[in-house]
Structure 1
Amino acid sequence: MSFPPPSRTPWEVRRRSLIVSAASAVALAGCSAGPDSAGRGGSTSVTARARARAAGDSRALLRQYDAVLAAHPALADRLRPLRAQVAAHAEAFAEGSATATATASRTATGSPSATASASASLAAPADEKSALASLAAAERALADRRAEELLDLPGELARLLAGVSAAGSAHVYLLTEGEK
């Protein structure tokens, strides 16, 4: 007598955790101490601007996560780990850029009401499926753009961008896996 397979095996849950953990490890491995060297394909100002842009992109994505979480609290268990990684990405990019660090520090020290109003200004789709799809689309677009940008950047920043792009691709998978 054969039994039907369970809808979700423990392996699938572990595989999902492994994908996210591996992507995060790759992304954060690029955050080693020391500045990018200008002699390896990019000037310091180009690197600083790229870091500031990447930090800003991650913060914008973070605001999208916050808007979806505010509109759909039932998705919190699914989205909080992804949101935490996006916050870590923003911090990792901000570490090497004085401009990004100053902006991140202003954002981090902002009042809770300022953060809530910034999140409220983004409109999350009314239904959960559309909200997840909008996050997946934002993650996919950002991951693709970062994968293209890393070709023009020096070593350490290129590695960080590659890792964060891979993490974004893993987020897309996790956000869309329920559709199948």
Structure 2
Amino acid sequence: MRDAGPTRRTVLAGLGALVAVGATATACTSDDNAGPSPEQRKADDDIRSRATSAASALLDRYDAVAAAHPALATRLRPYSDEINRHLTALGGSRTPPAAPPGEPVPPDPQAALADLAAREQQGSDGRLDDVSAASPEVARLLASISACQYVHANQLGSAS
């Protein structure tokens, strides 16, 4: 009996679409020799700031779920490690949370996984929304992060 989750073909098609969007958004530049304008640098800084904040919040959520459901900790570690690598690639670093998580973790492990899947999907959508406003270098990074989070969302969603 086949798992109800997405097929490998569906995930690869989704990744292909994300890469195509990223390539399309970055294909047109006016002058390859000129660096980004001050406005573009400001836009990239704002985009990176949003992405690092989102990644940090997602890492906090992974920690909260692992603390609430210790049996899931080992299973979730690869996902949180990947989000930590995204944070590093964006030029950010993890800071300890200033306050305990605002939202409680669902008491049911499957609901907690579904919550993480939804947050990963929101992260994927958020990074993809910023691609068109980013410089080519940042757009490629955002597209890669979005694709990764899309896969996380599908894997976590099919596990719940």
- Give the TM-score taking structure 2 as reference length: 0.72
* Count of aligned pairs between the two proteins: 133
C-alpha spacing 1:75/1:125, structure 2 compared with 1 (3 Å): same
More helix by share: 1
2:144 corresponds in structure 1 to: 163
Whether contact under 8 Å (1:66, 1:119) holds in the other structure is no
Runs of 4+ in 1 over 6 A off after TM superposition: none
RMSD: 2.7
The one-letter code of the counterpart of 2:78 is P
Instruction: Give the whole-Å Cα distance in 2 for the aligned partners of 1:174 and 1:125.
Output: 19
Instruction: Give the whole-Å Cα distance in 2 for the aligned partners of 1:120 and 1:54.
Output: 19
Whether contact under 8 Å (1:58, 1:87) holds in the other structure is yes
The one-letter code of the counterpart of 1:91 is T
Whether contact under 8 Å (2:43, 2:133) holds in the other structure is no
1:50 corresponds in structure 2 to: 47
- Give the TM-score taking structure 1 as reference length: 0.65
Q: Structure 2 residue aligned with 1:90, among 81, 87, 94?
A: 87
Alignment of 1:22-171 (within 5 A): 37-39=35-37, 43-93=40-90, 95=91, 101=92, 104=93, 107=95, 115=97, 118=99, 121-171=102-152
The one-letter code of the counterpart of 2:71 is A
Whether contact under 8 Å (1:142, 1:168) holds in the other structure is yes
Instruction: Give the whole-Å Cα distance in 1 for the aligned partners of 2:145 and 2:128.
Output: 9
C-alpha spacing 1:174/1:42, structure 2 compared with 1 (3 Å): farther
Unpaired stretches in structure 1, ≥5 consecutive residues: 9-14, 27-36, 96-100
Q: Secondary structure at the match of 2:105?
A: coil
Q: Secondary structure at the match of 1:46?
A: helix
Query: Identity over the aligned pairs, expressed in percent?
Result: 36
The one-letter code of the counterpart of 1:161 is L
The one-letter code of the counterpart of 1:38 is P
Deviation at 1:178, TM superposition (A): 2.4
Whether contact under 8 Å (1:67, 1:124) holds in the other structure is yes
Question: CA offsets per residue over residues 52-91 of structure 1, 9 Å max, x none?
Answer: 1111110011111010001001011210000000111111
Deviation at 1:121, TM superposition (A): 4.9
Whether contact under 8 Å (2:61, 2:101) holds in the other structure is no
